[in-house]
Structure 1
Amino acid sequence: MKLFPVNFPGSFPAKSLKGRVLCVLGVTILLCWAGALTVLTVYTLRGQNSIWDSKLQAIGTKILMSIPSGKVMQPFGQRLRLQLRDEALPRDMNLTFQVWTERTKLIVGAPDSPPSPLQPDFADGFSSVTIEGIRWRVFSVADSTGQFNVQVGMRHEVIDWEIQRKTFGALALTTILLAVAGLLMWFAVGKSLRPLTALEAAVRSRRKFDLTPLPVAQLPNEIRPLVDSFNHLLDQLDQAMQGERRFIGDAAHELRTPLSALQAQAQVALRATTLADKDAALVKLLAVAERSTRLSDQLLDLARMDAGVNAPQKTLADLSELILHVSQEFDMQAQQQRRSIILALTPCPIECDVDEIGILLRNLLDNALRYTPEDGRVKISCGYTEEDGKRHVCLEVADDGPGVPEAEHEAIFRRFHRVAGNNGRGSGIGLSLVAGIAQLHDAAIKTGPGLDGRGFSVRILFPVPPASASVGAEVAPAQPA
């Protein structure tokens, strides 16, 4: 229900729904009252005039038809008037009549009728005349010969008073009915908005971080969708807070182990009696520090992605160039671990957030190197592929390590999940970051066997950007931070 934003200075707050509804109803009732007053006044004026004219016409016609035909009647002044038996009987002093003959002789007249004709020109029909300062409504009618003329009159003040009485009576009744309707509407509006007041009180009385859905059973149908959407928002907020709590708990648990290891290795280095023992302890200390740094970077990336504060800034970039840049960062690490990185790259532009894809590539490559044994291989390839009837840009990272049981292929992309019995030292965060970044880029993830039927492979299928279909499309030479 849409209400017009009617504003009256000092009447009610412009943002009050109840005030707006009551104001519109009040204006509507006032307009109805004014319209009813106009209609009643016009109708009563016309109706009463018609009624009184009909009465005067009926009385005059009856009197004329009661006069005997062919008889000579004497003027009224030559005879005595008849008297009433009971003087207490009411007399209508406002209605009068006259019977004239030959338009000059008054043969019959009411006791209070003036001596002069009510209708001086004796014209048939209705007229309003003033005699001795008194206004009369007169009906005059003559017989077919024109010898007799009957004139019947009623004081205008009586007619006006009757019109006023009936007009004010009808107006009073209309006012009462409209007032009752207004009160009923005011009560209905108040009762309809009462659930909102109760809802407000319920929200104010809630404890901090109470995100349970708001009750909607008693709400009007027009308000319920708004509260339903608010409940949906509360549910999303509750899920986000629950996820944040789980993240904080898991992060604290994951950081506890490397921090304890840092402290232990530092104590070993301090207690070492020989330079060789001290160097060995420092090497282990450096390895734990590198692991802690990697873990903290992953946690920060995961927290930033979960927060979703900034939407991915997508640009057209060549995936092969991004892979080449990231793989160069791991060359030294791969050589130290006696592992080799193989590249099979085809230029293929994709619409992506360069920094996010950099995080995805680093985590895939780090995960593959971490679980590949010495003298193992990690192959990174990209190019176009046709799957499910659609053309995709395919990124694949495969290794020849021990692999992942097929039953664990989906679970490894959940955060903090580790494959049971695996001796690797991963945190269980890297692949969950990969899954989250792929989802942000509308990419699909598929897993399978690695190199030579051994190990593990991760394939990410990106949608082909429309811009890449045009010849000579410009590709941003950006590099991941």
Structure 2
Amino acid sequence: MKASSLNARLILVIVWVIVLSWLAVAGVILMQFSLNQTSTSDTELATIATQVLRTIPADATLDGEAGWEGLQLGQPPGLDLELLLFQIWVDGQRLYAATPGAPRSPFKPDFGDGLASTVVDGKKWRVYSVTDGAGRVTVQAGNPQDVVDKDMRDAAGHALILATALLLIVAAAMRFVTRNAFQSVRTLSQAIRQRKSLDFTPLPMDRLPRELHPFVASFNSLLQQLDEAIEGERRFIGNAAHELRTPLSALQAQAEIALSATDPQDKEAALKKLLAVAERSTRLSEQLLDLARIDAGAKAPRHAPADLAGLVQHVVQEFEVYASQNRRSLYLDVHPCMIRCDIDEIGILLRNLLDNAMRYTPEGGNVLVRCGYESLAGLGRAGEVYLEVSDDGPGVEAAERQAIFARFHRAAGTSGRGSGIGLSLVAAIAKSHHATINVGAGLEGRGLMVRIRFPGIKARHG
């Protein structure tokens, strides 16, 4: 679906509001003027008829037909008799006088007092009739209905023109306000486009409307995250280049020694060292690739229920031959326990824990791998699943145990044995699985113990 402009949407809403408002105002004006104009016209007719009746002298004989020219009337206050149409009837039968333009037939044939709409000689009239107290003289004032309608239309038209002008002024003002409101957004957009690449400086908010502050604050937070991510990648590339430089140089040196050696024993020794360096380089490359993949989120985590005990047994089998060849004892103490996890990442986590334990445990040493549900008497909450790897090697000082999970960190006195990447991988994977890490003394109070607690799915007792 194509995204629409917020400014265009606002303008469309304003247009619709103006149109609907104009229609509503027009309806109200037409209805109000129709009622008012009819009421005003009727009032004028009643006033005219009453005033004309009052101006007829009481002693007038009203014999014959005076006609308009022969009618002597006093001027009613506030009325112009020259513009009025009315009739004077005597005894309900004889037209005594009428204004020019008035029909010869009575406006109201029944001569009843009051207002009425009639048709005289095929023309519609609005009339008012009033009779004197003696019931002899009747005055009927009339106004053509088309004149009433025209006056109403003219007045309503003027009112609509005024209302339209006012609404147009309001529309122009609203347009100006919306355009001015979006000016800060356009300025901000232009400032973003003019930025250099990898410029993650926070956007200023001092001149922006308060309504935009949450959006810009979220954008600034994203910029900060990107800045931290880019900086992390820079450090990673620098550290990775440094870490790879040493084994690559060693590979080249051992290869040159092996090629130049003439004694078979010297050649064999050089080849063995070359193989050891190649294995270390391979392991370092694998760790760097795993770390880069997890950091970049190249693979979306696919967490599914899995039996941690089965995963542990599978991975430990890979290290049994290594442990035997290097004269180290590897023990298992696992119990069925279910967690939601990415199986590949848990495999990476356990391999790095075992690799770390095997490297730092001396010949004749022991490594113990355990997993199961935490009990109520344990260190964790009931229902949590734990994975623990312990050894009886040299261990790590208590003050330094949390630092070993930082990238490329090596504990004091252990340089050359590892790359400082394995445990940082463990920490990253544990975080993605909402797991916690505890570090303590290893077997019989010696060495190192790393315990990871996962949210369990369902505890199994017995």
TM-score, with structure 1 as normaliser: 0.85
Q: Could you list the per-position Cα deviations for residues 45-100 of structure 1 after superposition, in whole angstroms to 9, with x for gaps in the alignment? A: 2211211211121121122234444653333439974899xxxxx97643133322
Q: Could you list the per-position Cα deviations for residues 243-285 of structure 1 after superposition, in whole angstroms to 9, with x for gaps in the alignment? A: 2222111111110110011111112222223222211111111
Pair 247,309 (structure 1): closer, same or farther in 2 beyond 3 Å: same
How far apart in 2 are the matches of 1:115 and 1:463?
A: 106
Instruction: Name the structure 2 match of 1:382.
Output: 371
Q: 5+ unaligned residues in a row in structure 2: which ranges? A: 74-78
Aligned to 2:198, what secondary structure does the other structure show?
coil
The code of the aligned residue for 2:438 comes to K
Determine if contact 2:25/2:163 at 8 Å carries over to the other structure: yes
Given candidates 419, 432, 441, the residue that maps to 2:433 is 441
The code of the aligned residue for 2:398 comes to E
Superposition map of 1:211-250 within 5 A: 211-250=200-239
- The answer to whether residue 241 in structure 2 is matched with residue 252 in structure 1 is yes
How far apart in 2 are the matches of 1:222 and 1:101?
A: 80
How far apart in 2 are the matches of 1:35 and 1:284?
A: 93
How far apart in 1 are the matches of 2:301 and 2:71?
A: 114
Pair 82,122 (structure 1): closer, same or farther in 2 beyond 3 Å: closer
Name the stretch that deviates more: 120-129 or 285-294: 120-129
Aligned to 1:330, what secondary structure does the other structure show?
helix
Given candidates 179, 190, 213, the residue that maps to 1:190 is 179
Q: 5+ unaligned residues in a row in structure 1: which ranges? A: 6-12, 85-89, 472-481
Instruction: Name the structure 1 match of 2:417.
Output: 425
Determine if contact 1:60/1:141 at 8 Å carries over to the other structure: yes
How far apart in 1 are the matches of 2:68 and 2:191?
A: 95
Determine if contact 2:71/2:97 at 8 Å carries over to the other structure: no
- The answer to whether residue 359 in structure 2 is matched with residue 370 in structure 1 is yes
Instruction: Name the structure 1 match of 2:76.
Output: none
Superposition map of 1:327-338 within 5 A: 327-338=316-327
Determine if contact 2:67/2:97 at 8 Å carries over to the other structure: no
Deviation at residue 381 of structure 1 after TM alignment: 2.7
- The answer to whether residue 398 in structure 2 is matched with residue 409 in structure 1 is no
Determine if contact 1:95/1:155 at 8 Å carries over to the other structure: no
Pair 324,141 (structure 1): closer, same or farther in 2 beyond 3 Å: closer
How far apart in 2 are the matches of 1:435 and 1:400?
A: 22
The code of the aligned residue for 1:304 comes to R
Aligned to 1:469, what secondary structure does the other structure show?
coil
How far apart in 2 are the matches of 1:147 and 1:92?
A: 22
What's the % identity of the aligned pairs?
51
Deviation at residue 407 of structure 1 after TM alignment: 0.9
Instruction: Name the structure 2 match of 1:34.
Output: 23
Pair 312,102 (structure 1): closer, same or farther in 2 beyond 3 Å: closer
Deviation at residue 307 of structure 1 after TM alignment: 1.7
Superposition map of 1:88-127 within 5 A: 93-110=82-99, 113=102, 115-127=104-116
Pair 256,78 (structure 1): closer, same or farther in 2 beyond 3 Å: closer
Q: Could you list the per-position Cα deviations for residues 202-238 of structure 1 after superposition, in whole angstroms to 9, with x for gaps in the alignment? A: 2222222333333444444554444443333333333
Given candidates 344, 348, 361, the residue that maps to 1:359 is 348
How far apart in 2 are the matches of 1:115 and 1:242?
A: 104
How far apart in 1 are the matches of 2:329 and 2:451?
A: 20
How far apart in 1 are the matches of 2:96 and 2:354?
A: 132
Determine if contact 1:94/1:155 at 8 Å carries over to the other structure: no
Pair 346,141 (structure 1): closer, same or farther in 2 beyond 3 Å: closer
Pair 63,411 (structure 1): closer, same or farther in 2 beyond 3 Å: same
How far apart in 2 are the matches of 1:414 and 1:376?
A: 26
Deviation at residue 170 of structure 1 after TM alignment: 0.8
- The answer to whether residue 284 in structure 2 is matched with residue 292 in structure 1 is no
Superposition map of 1:393-404 within 5 A: 393-404=385-396
- The answer to whether residue 447 in structure 2 is matched with residue 455 in structure 1 is yes
Aligned to 1:137, what secondary structure does the other structure show?
strand
Name the stretch that deviates more: 60-69 or 213-222: 213-222
Pair 94,379 (structure 1): closer, same or farther in 2 beyond 3 Å: same
Superposition map of 1:145-224 within 5 A: 145-224=134-213
The code of the aligned residue for 1:411 comes to A
Instruction: Name the structure 2 match of 1:51.
Output: 40
How far apart in 1 are the matches of 2:423 and 2:153?
A: 91
- Backbone CA RMSD of aligned residues: 3.0
Aligned to 1:382, what secondary structure does the other structure show?
strand
How far apart in 2 are the matches of 1:133 and 1:349?
A: 99
Name the stretch that deviates more: 149-158 or 179-188: 149-158
Deviation at residue 168 of structure 1 after TM alignment: 1.3
- The answer to whether residue 132 in structure 2 is matched with residue 143 in structure 1 is yes
How far apart in 2 are the matches of 1:375 and 1:62?
A: 133
Determine if contact 2:68/2:99 at 8 Å carries over to the other structure: no
Determine if contact 2:394/2:446 at 8 Å carries over to the other structure: yes
Determine if contact 1:125/1:139 at 8 Å carries over to the other structure: yes
Name the stretch that deviates more: 125-134 or 281-290: 125-134
Pair 19,470 (structure 1): closer, same or farther in 2 beyond 3 Å: farther
Determine if contact 1:98/1:109 at 8 Å carries over to the other structure: yes
How far apart in 1 are the matches of 2:408 and 2:86?
A: 114
Superposition map of 1:7-22 within 5 A: 15-22=4-11
Pair 148,394 (structure 1): closer, same or farther in 2 beyond 3 Å: closer
Pair 324,96 (structure 1): closer, same or farther in 2 beyond 3 Å: closer
How far apart in 1 are the matches of 2:64 and 2:438?
A: 127
Instruction: Name the structure 1 match of 2:296.
Output: 307
The code of the aligned residue for 1:282 comes to L
Pair 116,435 (structure 1): closer, same or farther in 2 beyond 3 Å: closer
The alignment covers a number of residue pairs equal to: 454
Determine if contact 2:388/2:452 at 8 Å carries over to the other structure: yes
Q: Could you list the per-position Cα deviations for residues 417-461 of structure 1 after superposition, in whole angstroms to 9, with x for gaps in the alignment? A: 011232452100011111122222222211111222222221222
Pair 249,92 (structure 1): closer, same or farther in 2 beyond 3 Å: farther
The code of the aligned residue for 1:374 comes to E
Q: Could you list the per-position Cα deviations for residues 452-476 of structure 1 after superposition, in whole angstroms to 9, with x for gaps in the alignment? A: 222222122233322x5399xxxxx
Name the stretch that deviates more: 27-36 or 126-135: 126-135
